[in-house]
Structure 1
Amino acid sequence: MVYIYDTTLRDGAQTRGVSFSLEDKLRITRALDDLGIHYIEGGWPGSNPKDLAYFNEVKKLNLKNSKLVAFSSTKRKGLKVEEDANIQQLVRTEVPAVTIFGKSWDLHVTQDLRISLEENLELIYETISYLKRYFDEVFFDAEHFFDGYKSNSEYALKTLKAAEEAGADCLVLCDTNGGTLWYETEEIIDAVLREVRAPLGIHAHNDSDMAVVNSLIAVRKGAIQVQGTINGLGERTGNANLCSIIPNLVLKMGVESIPKENLRKLYSVSGLVAELSNRPHPVNLPYVGENAFAHKAGVHVSAVEKNPELYEHVKPESVGNRRKIMISELSGRSNIVSKAKEFGINLDKKSPEVKEVLEKIKELEAQGYHFEGAEGSFELLLKETLGLTKKYFELKGFRVLTEKRSEDEEAYAEATIKVEIPEEVAKERGIKDRFEHTAAEGRGPVEALDRALRKALEKFYPSIKEVKLTDYKVRILNETSGTAASPRVLIVSTDGKRKWGTVGVSPNVIEASWLALVDAFKFKLMKDDEEKRGRNG
């Protein structure tokens, strides 16, 4: 059994340009738990308020598959372990497992920590033995282990032995600088296995493009824990990519790890993390990239239509991806059918409705839409196309003004909006005046527009008051166009019972925000109607 340890929320969050909000971290946690990841490293609670807040909020999620892990360093020099604030913060998280990193490269001990080699061994031993009193599992990340071994093998092994003697449940060998080649990994792990008996893990960075292969080699040598991140996020060139490691383990090596059927969720998890990272989803990622199973050359297309195995090393559906035959109108229909089933809708892949939905999605994707992380917008699109939801309101116009009266004053915005509800809704609710023309102010144009739309709709649909926006992201799609570039806006909303994402794309960021806001409110009203029909049978 090989246990998957995800560090997207900590090591992955150190990627240049990535900053997960608290809500992002909770959404990713839910997705990783659903995928079946064994350990989720939530962050370093002693390092920043966001990570501390995460460990308070994540307790409410009631995870089904994953164990939460808190991360920290060994205790600081000159302090008793009971006096170290970081260590005490770990204890207060009350998670089942913790990971402690310590120096295993003598160069770091003498030049970074500036303590003796023996003192470093004491830090490792005292920290781990203390934490074993409070946690079910304590993992030791031997930072810079491979470089440390190449510099001073005797001392690097001593750090592992100190952790082993203290009771560490797994000794994780870290290629922190990412420069170790595959044959070095084999040789060094063989040497480690001759000296220690505790279970081993691997934590590889990708600076020499070896992170995935080094991780797999470690498993072949007996490692029971593999650490990495979704999409290979991480400092510099990134960490080992779990989206490659997991299917390689399960599908290629036959190693018991996360349930095989859960691999079908890998593509959507990869897309969600990319969207919440506010980064493009790399199209060339193995297994989960948009091009992983795309076929364009005529010879390839002809062969794949006869037998997919001729040009595909695994079935794309096995990892939740789909085959893309660039000249075929059938490309992607199975995904529509599969997604519809999640909503309780059975569709025939050859039906005209599926074709219509697919054509709309292709048209929207060409404009820059992306529905990973915007599941609310996708469900609306599907059900509107199938005639399974009604029209709740129609925009009759909006205007947004932004004003700044002096350099010392903050800018503020005002939005004016006019909406109309359908005649049948008005009759159903006993409303005579189907129009609402109102205005609202905000610190920015999007906030003003949100407030104005709420104010208009609450007159007709009081449940709109339950909707709260928990996240708002803007990503530029065609950066080279400068100020004329088209933004994509992703909004996350909640009504206290559920959370959903919606998306809007337009050359005008206000209109893109409007489109995402409209979908957010329409989704809420659609779900209210579905719940009402369910109660009435």
Structure 2
Amino acid sequence: MRVLFYDTTLRDGTQGEGVYFSVQDKLRIVRKLDLLGIDYIEGGWPGANPKDWEFYQEAAKLRLNHAKLAAFGSTRRANHRPEDDKTLNDLLATKTPVVTIFGKSWDLHAQEVLRVSLAENLQIIEDSVRYLHSNQREVVYDAEHFFDGYKSNPDYALETLRAAIRGGASTVVLCDTNGGTMPLEVVEILKTVQTQVPVQLGVHFHNDSGTAVASSIMAVQTGAVHVQGTFNGYGERCGNANLSSIIPTLILKLGYDAGVKENLTQLTEVSRYISELANLHHDERQPYVGGSAFAHKAGTHVDAILKNPLSLEHIRSEQVGNKRRFLLSDQAGRSTILSKVREIVPNTKKDDPHVLALTNHLKQLENSGYQFEAADASFDLLIKKAFGLFEKAFTLEGFRLIVEKRGDQPVLAEATIKVGVGDEQEITAAEGDGPVNALDSAIRKALLRFYPEIADVGLVDYKVRVLDEDRGTASKVRVLIESSDGTNSWGTVGVSENIIEASWEALVDSIEYGILLKKAQRDNHSAKPKRSSNEN
């Protein structure tokens, strides 16, 4: 059976706390979702704000390969004729092939929110759908609060669906707007609705009970063919049903067909892309598309995975465009270490003494407060040092920090540093907003003459974690630094009772790794055969 996926990230998703997309962000996401194979993309509510008007004007210029663009709005107002209703006419003005409108399916909402009679509410629904349908639009009718309405007054809830169908709706969507309906309730209600509704059935779940994905999947298994949701589960309150989880479950686990099926390997990329444009940290614990979805920490797990991935992975990570990761921690055994070592020193044997020494060293470091799960670059340097493959790019002769506060002026920090590179030395100074910022600026300034490539390398994140709070200001701290050259990113770690010392340690690893990375890129580029001058 084929399932149609309806994405509402750009409308319902933006109602989530902290979620914001510009017009250009929305257009970029539409292109991504279209290439992925999403069937319907809801772009916003025209007339609700100037940004959504601008979006639909720009979106009309897009040439979509697969998806249909939908405009979203409500049924007409009471005492308004459809042809005079601003909301309905705004929807038509977008010229989208699909229009989605919501209406009241719960008698409580009709009487206490709209303040109309139950009969008048039915007329509002039918008139609104008929007007849009008569203007050659595919109409999707969202039955708002349907499940609560059905539990309150099942006969009336079903009548609201029939009103939409009489008006010409090609799809009626049962919405759990409050997110409180349990999956087995969904199944039982859907079974009844199917016997009463002759058109395509869809579902739309919110996640207030943490069951939106489960309810969506069970609804499809019961007969729904149209599934609404958002990427990464963005949405009001606790969010909407997460398409990042629903899509692969229906396709890979249950064998449903969909437009997304042939592009499923793009799923993780699209999910991360949307997180990036929303300016939100990607939820790494998401099923399928999170960084932790195929991450293994326990040594016994890693050993089993290396022997047969099916032993601890329910699907192959590459099926959804993700990748397997082995986490380095005090729970890691030699199998974990070996898998990381082989990325740098291929064909290393498990009984290699360097591997045993490195495993023991890792456990000691983690016992001291180091953590390498988010510090992959620091661990890569540890491997190189253990196997005698590391050559220091520079040596620290010394540094001095001055932190000054004058009256109401901001705190000013100044760092002076002396480094050695080969037989040469460099002394320089720099100011910063704080001591770590000043030190970072000074070391880069000192090394730029020797390693001009580090001009592209910069810090993008800096985190400090107090490890033993009971010691107060004498507590040991762990500093995690994330760096980037604009293309690649890497993490480094430092631990000390002195925050400057811990920061320096992470900072040195960051710069050392950046220099090695740039050198490897240059070597790889120069190793490529050059085309001769007589080649075409």
CA distance in 1, matches of 2:468, 2:57: 38
- 1:227 corresponds to: 228
Matched residues in 1 for 2:358 and 2:11: separation?
A: 37
- Are 1:511 and 2:503 counterparts? yes
Counterpart AA for 2:526: R
Specify whether residues 200 and 502 from structure 1 end up closer, same or farther in structure 2 by C-alpha distance, changes over 3 A only: farther
The answer for the alignment partner of 1:182 in structure 2 is 183
Tell me what 2:403 maps to.
401
* Aligned position for 2:246: 245
Please give the TM-score of this superposition, normalised by the length of structure 2.
0.62
Q: Distance in 1 between matches of 2:416 and 2:57?
A: 39
Instruction: Give the number of aligned pairs.
Output: 504
Corresponding residue number in structure 2 for 1:439: 430
Check 1:314–1:531 CA distance in 2 against 1; reply closer, same or farther (3 A cut).
closer
Cα distance change of structure 1 residues 487 and 423 upon mapping to structure 2, 3 Å threshold: closer
Shift of 1:216: 1.6
Q: Deviations over 1:301-350 (max 9, x none)?
A: 9999998767776567766565989675324866887xx6xxxx995585
Q: CA deviation at 1:108?
A: 2.8
- Please state whether the residue corresponding to 1:185 is helix, strand or coil: helix
TM-superposed CA distance for 1:534, in Å, is: 7.0
User: Residues 163 and 445 (structure 1 numbering): CA distance in 2 closer, same or farther, change over 3 Å?
Assistant: farther
Question: Residue 436 and residue 290 in structure 1: after superposition, are their counterparts in 2 closer, same or farther (change >3 A)?
Answer: same
Distance 1:453 1:186, change over 3 A: same
Taking a change above 3 Å as real, the CA distance of residues 446 and 306 of structure 1, as seen in their structure-2 partners, is closer
Secondary structure of the corresponding residue to residue 429 of structure 2 = strand
Structure 1 partner of 2:370: 367
Q: CA RMSD in A?
A: 6.6
1:255 to partner: Cα distance: 1.4
1:329 to 319, 334, 344: 334
Match of 1:430 in 2: none
Q: 1:528 to 1:317 in 2, by over 3 A?
A: closer
Q: Which residue of 2 aligns with 1:416?
A: 415
| Residue in structure 1 matched with residue 74 of structure 2 by the alignment | 74
Return closer, same or farther for 1:82/1:394 CA change in 2, 3 Å cut-off: farther
Cα distance in 1 between the residues matched to 2:413 and 2:387: 37
> Is 2:326–2:336's contact at 8 Å kept on the other side of the alignment?
yes
Question: Are the aligned partners of 1:37 and 1:66 in contact in 2 as well (CA < 8 Å)?
Answer: yes
Q: Per-residue CA shift, 1:444-475, capped at 9, x if unaligned?
A: 66766666566556555666666788x65758
The 2-side partners of 1:446 and 1:86 are apart by 57
> Which aligned pairs between 1:22-101 and structure 2 lie closer than 5 A?
36=36, 38=38, 72-74=72-74, 77=77, 101=102
**C-alpha distance in 2, partners of 1:66/1:149?**
35
Aligned to 2:522: 529
Provide the C-alpha distance between the structure 2 equivalents of 1:392 and 1:358, rounded to a whole number of angstroms. 22
Secondary structure of the corresponding residue to residue 226 of structure 1: strand
Secondary structure of the residue aligned to 2:143 is strand
Instruction: Report the CA distance between 1:55 and its aligned residue.
Output: 9.4
Could you report, residue by residue, the CA deviation over 1:75-101 in whole angstroms, capped at 9, with x for unpaired residues?
784899999699969978x99877655
CA contact (8 A) 1:412 1:441 kept: no
Instruction: Provide the identity percentage.
Output: 34
SS in 2 for 1:173: strand
Partner of 2:335, secondary structure, is: coil
- The CA distance in 2 between the partners of 1:302 and 1:532, in whole Å, is 35
Structure 2 Cα separation of the partners of residues 74 and 273 of structure 1: 28
Matches within 5 A, 1:145-224: 145-157=146-158, 159-160=160-161, 170-224=171-225
How far apart in 2 are the matches of 1:202 and 1:398? 63
Against the structure 1 CA distance between its residues 511 and 210, is the aligned structure 2 distance closer, same or farther, given a 3 Å change threshold? same
Match of 2:108 in 1: 107
Distance in 2, matches of 1:535 and 1:117, equals: 71
Question: Any gaps of 5 or more consecutive residues in structure 1?
Answer: 425-432
Q: Give CA deviations for 1:415-459 in whole Å, capped at 9, x if unaligned.
A: 4353758449xxxxxxxx7625131344x6676666656655655
Gaps of 5+ in 2: 531-536
Kept in 1, the 8 Å contact 2:370–2:478? The answer is no
CA distance in 1, matches of 2:345, 2:512: 24
Residues 75 and 103 of structure 2 are in contact (CA less than 8 Å); yes or no, is this contact kept in structure 1? no
Secondary structure at the counterpart of residue 334 of structure 2: coil
Partner residue in 2 for 1:121? 125
TM-score, with normalisation over the residues of structure 1?
0.62
What CA distance in whole angstroms lies between the structure 1 residues aligned with 2:347 and 2:243? 34
The answer as to whether partners of 2:401 and 2:435 remain within 8 angstroms in 1 is no
Classify the secondary structure of the residue corresponding to 2:181.
Answer: coil
